[in-house]
Chains A and B, each alone.
Chain A
Amino acid sequence: MVGPAHFLALSAALFFIGAAGVATRRNIVVIFMSVELMLNAANLAFVAVARGLGTMEGQVIVFFVMTLAAAEAAVGLAVILAMFRNRQTMDAGEISLLKW
């Protein structure tokens, strides 16, 4: 029987895969995709818990997160595009302006 615990375990796994991607990958677009993965891991946790508890709040929040993710994708891709135009690179390691 598949219960909430399984969903949550999957959600945690997805979250950490995303986090690992953000931390280790160099390509900004891949990092960006990893952030999306983490957001969706959170979505999965929300709906799983909402269903398990039989309430609506978790499901409503998922819509908010999806809206936010869309906005973030629009702004994020614009930033990435601008960055690429200025520096001709997609490597996050080379874009280290916030430096000592």
Chain B
Amino acid sequence: MVSAESWLRWIPLLPLLGAVLHVAVGYRVGRRATGVLACSVVGVSFLLALRAFSALVSAPEGAVLADDVYRWIAVAGFNIDVRLVLDSLSVVMCLVITGVGFLIHVYSTGYMAHDDDYARFFAYLNLFTSAMLVLVMADNLVLMFVGWEGVGLCSYLLIGFWYTDTAKASAGKKAFVVNRVGDAAFVLGTFLLFWALAPGASDLGGSSLRFADINAAAPGLSPGLVTAAALLLFVGATGKSAQIPLFVWLPDAMAGPTPVSALIHAATMVTAGVYMVARLNGLFEAAPAAMTVIAWVGAITALMAATVGVVQNDIKKVLAYSTVSQLGYMFMALGVGAFGAAVFHVMTHAFFKGLLFLGAGSVIHALHEEQDIRKMGGLRAKTPVTWATFAVATLAIAGVPGLAGFFSKDAILAATFAGGHYGLWLIGLAGAALTAFYMTRLLRLVFFDSFRGDRERGEQAHESPWSMTVPLIVLAVLSVVGGYLGVPHALGGHDALGSFLAPSVSSAAHAGHALHLSVAVEWLLMLVSTTVVLGSMGFAWKLYAAGPDADVVVRGALGRAWQWMASAWRVDEAYERLVVRPVGRGAEFLWKGVDVGLIDRFADGVAMTAGVLAEIWRRWNSGSVQHYALSLLAGALALVAAVLLGGGG
């Protein structure tokens, strides 16, 4: 059931309008007006998304709101429309993007208050919000790709926001290039689907790139084709959502301002890949091999990134690897067909990881740009609000019962177990233990014991202004209550979010064999994961009573593995060796060998030949009249000879 709602277009249009206005007048109207404008456009978008949400909740199951903006491409019966659609899946994403986005905008007005490029920052941030909304509201792959590229562009612009710092500028470039690899695969997947869905080479009439049509047609296509398309799109997702092997850009992306890390690199953009797979659930369900790949890539990413998080000392790097790890969980959920659980985790993760990043930003702000957790400590008294909210988020991400992360993470673990993927479940459990460990380490090193940095910085440490603390508090509340949207049946809940999402994420093929565990097994699983998490937290808590020195103990216990973890499993190094340097060498060959050696030499040779010939020729012009006369004579004689010898003509 589709109802046309022409106001939907304002949800992405308003932030876009904001971005345009920032560029046009932002530097003239002053900081206050810029900040108010930036926040209010996103706020109004949020209200519109809420309106859509309430309309969908009261509508019968499976209802869809749609807004046909205009027909973009029309070729031989093949149409691509700019058509915005809100169903239960995209409306949840919309609420997260605009809701968390609004809080982060408010926070940014405080965090960026002293930055010279205030208007530029909010222009990018609004533009990002707009692109992200287009991405989730698109009804076909092509329009989604517009948003997909838009968020990638904004990510690049915001990572390199402080572009005068070369390291930050090149971190932005790295994010852009790595994402481009994924995007290329995304485009290839789109082409493949376009080709597969066309009835004949010259007949495009039946072809379509609308999600609904792709999902419906996928089971009828050849399995190889579907698997290839699914895998190509998944490679696109690994780029945007920082999975193995394309995750390397995300830790470097921390060079951007902290609110950017919270909004783009934790809460919203990096979940685009998860959303895309959930959106195309029919296609992916029809490709079991691709699903297995997704599940394992996700699980391995979750575990690997968690191990790296244990040994990081930069507060934002810890959170970055944690994000990679949590995204791995989401893909693991997608891979076992638990699309609802994945989206649930996207939502709770947006709350607590957004909160963690904003809290980290508050800490960094308080300590005047200090990011090394070894030089922190004891900030509990100086920054009480930041401490309290950060602690809530830590408990939530670790999966302490009662908080958001517990419900969503357990939904994922239960789904893997129910699907019979015990190996994945074990990896997930190990990842959860590591997550609990490094988050407890982070919390203790930053907020507890005594301050270890410069005394001056410690004394100047102060709580952030209200514009930064209020979003922290709101997100902390959400990190607690967000989980109650998806209380499993075993705990007496009724998984409200899951049943709300069900019409959007369950293809016909999947609906038949919904997996159910018995209540006892589900309780047991929760008990196991809770025990593991609490044990890991307790262990980290005791260990890091010794402060950062405990890292030595960890290092000793891990032995050689520590080296690998500290270098992020040498993935960056491998890229450096296998891709960057060969490409660099190839480029250098083309430069010095082909361009300078061949092309330039040819061009120089032509010029030099002309020069040499001219040099010879100009000697002829001796200036002596007699030489000229002699030349005349010779020419005349030659003419006469030609006439006489040429047949006497």
Interface residues of A (CB under 8 A from B): 19, 22-24, 31, 92-93, 95-100
Asked whether B629 lies within 8 Å of A96 as measured between CB atoms, the reply is: no
Asked whether B630 lies within 8 Å of A95 as measured between CB atoms, the reply is: no
> What 1/0 mask marks residues of chain B from 600 to 637 whose CB sits below 8 Å from any chain A CB?
00000000000000000011011111101110010000
Asked whether B626 lies within 8 Å of A99 as measured between CB atoms, the reply is: no
Could you tell me the distance between the alpha carbons of A100 and B623 in the complex, rounded to whole angstroms? 7
Determine the chain B residues whose CB is within 8 A of the CB of A31 once the complex forms.
625-626
Contact pick for A23, options B618, B619, B621, B633, CB 8 Å: B633
Closest to A15 in B: B633
Could you tell me the distance between the alpha carbons of A46 and B623 in the complex, rounded to whole angstroms? 34
User: Interface residues of B: mostly helix, strand, loop or mixed?
Assistant: helix
Closest Cβ of chain B: how far from A39's Cβ, in Å?
14
Contact pick for B623, options A19, A22, A96, CB 8 Å: A96
Asked whether A23 lies within 8 Å of B623 as measured between CB atoms, the reply is: no
Could you tell me the distance between the alpha carbons of A5 and B533 in the complex, rounded to whole angstroms? 128
Closest Cβ of chain A: how far from B614's Cβ, in Å?
10
Besides the contacts A23-B629, A23-B633, A93-B624, what 4 more A-B pairs have beta carbons closer than 8 Å?
A22-B629, A96-B625, A99-B622, A100-B618
Could you tell me the distance between the alpha carbons of A19 and B628 in the complex, rounded to whole angstroms? 12
Contact pick for A100, options B621, B629, B630, CB 8 Å: B621
Asked whether A95 lies within 8 Å of B621 as measured between CB atoms, the reply is: no
Closest to A93 in B: B624
Closest Cβ of chain A: how far from B142's Cβ, in Å?
67
Could you tell me the distance between the alpha carbons of A93 and B629 in the complex, rounded to whole angstroms? 13
Closest Cβ of chain B: how far from A86's Cβ, in Å?
15
Asked whether B621 lies within 8 Å of A99 as measured between CB atoms, the reply is: yes
Given contacts A19-B633, A23-B630, A23-B633, contact A92 B619 (CB under 8 A): no
Could you tell me the distance between the alpha carbons of A99 and B622 in the complex, rounded to whole angstroms? 5
Contact pick for B625, options A24, A92, A100, CB 8 Å: A92
Given contacts A19-B633, A23-B633, contact A97 B626 (CB under 8 A): no
Closest to A22 in B: B629
Asked whether A92 lies within 8 Å of B633 as measured between CB atoms, the reply is: no
Determine the chain B residues whose CB is within 8 A of the CB of A100 once the complex forms.
618-619, 621-623
Asked whether A22 lies within 8 Å of B626 as measured between CB atoms, the reply is: yes
Residues 468-511 of B contacting A (Cβ, < 8 Å): none
The 3 closest A-B pairs by CB, nearest first: A99-B623, A96-B623, A100-B618
Could you tell me the distance between the alpha carbons of A23 and B633 in the complex, rounded to whole angstroms? 9
Could you tell me the distance between the alpha carbons of A97 and B630 in the complex, rounded to whole angstroms? 17
Given contacts A100-B618, A100-B619, contact A23 B626 (CB under 8 A): yes
Could you tell me the distance between the alpha carbons of A91 and B626 in the complex, rounded to whole angstroms? 11
Asked whether B621 lies within 8 Å of A98 as measured between CB atoms, the reply is: yes
Asked whether A95 lies within 8 Å of B625 as measured between CB atoms, the reply is: yes
Can you list 10 A-B pairs, Cβ within 8 angstroms, ordered by A? Answer: A22-B626, A23-B626, A23-B629, A93-B624, A95-B625, A96-B623, A96-B625, A98-B621, A98-B623, A100-B623
Determine the chain A residues whose CB is within 8 A of the CB of B633 once the complex forms.
19, 22-23
Could you tell me the distance between the alpha carbons of A31 and B629 in the complex, rounded to whole angstroms? 11
Could you tell me the distance between the alpha carbons of A2 and B626 in the complex, rounded to whole angstroms? 36
Closest Cβ of chain B: how far from A60's Cβ, in Å?
23
Residues 107-131 of B contacting A (Cβ, < 8 Å): none
Closest Cβ of chain B: how far from A58's Cβ, in Å?
19
Could you tell me the distance between the alpha carbons of A7 and B234 in the complex, rounded to whole angstroms? 104
Most A CB contacts (10 A, CB to CB) among B618, B619, B624 go to B624
Could you tell me the distance between the alpha carbons of A93 and B622 in the complex, rounded to whole angstroms? 10
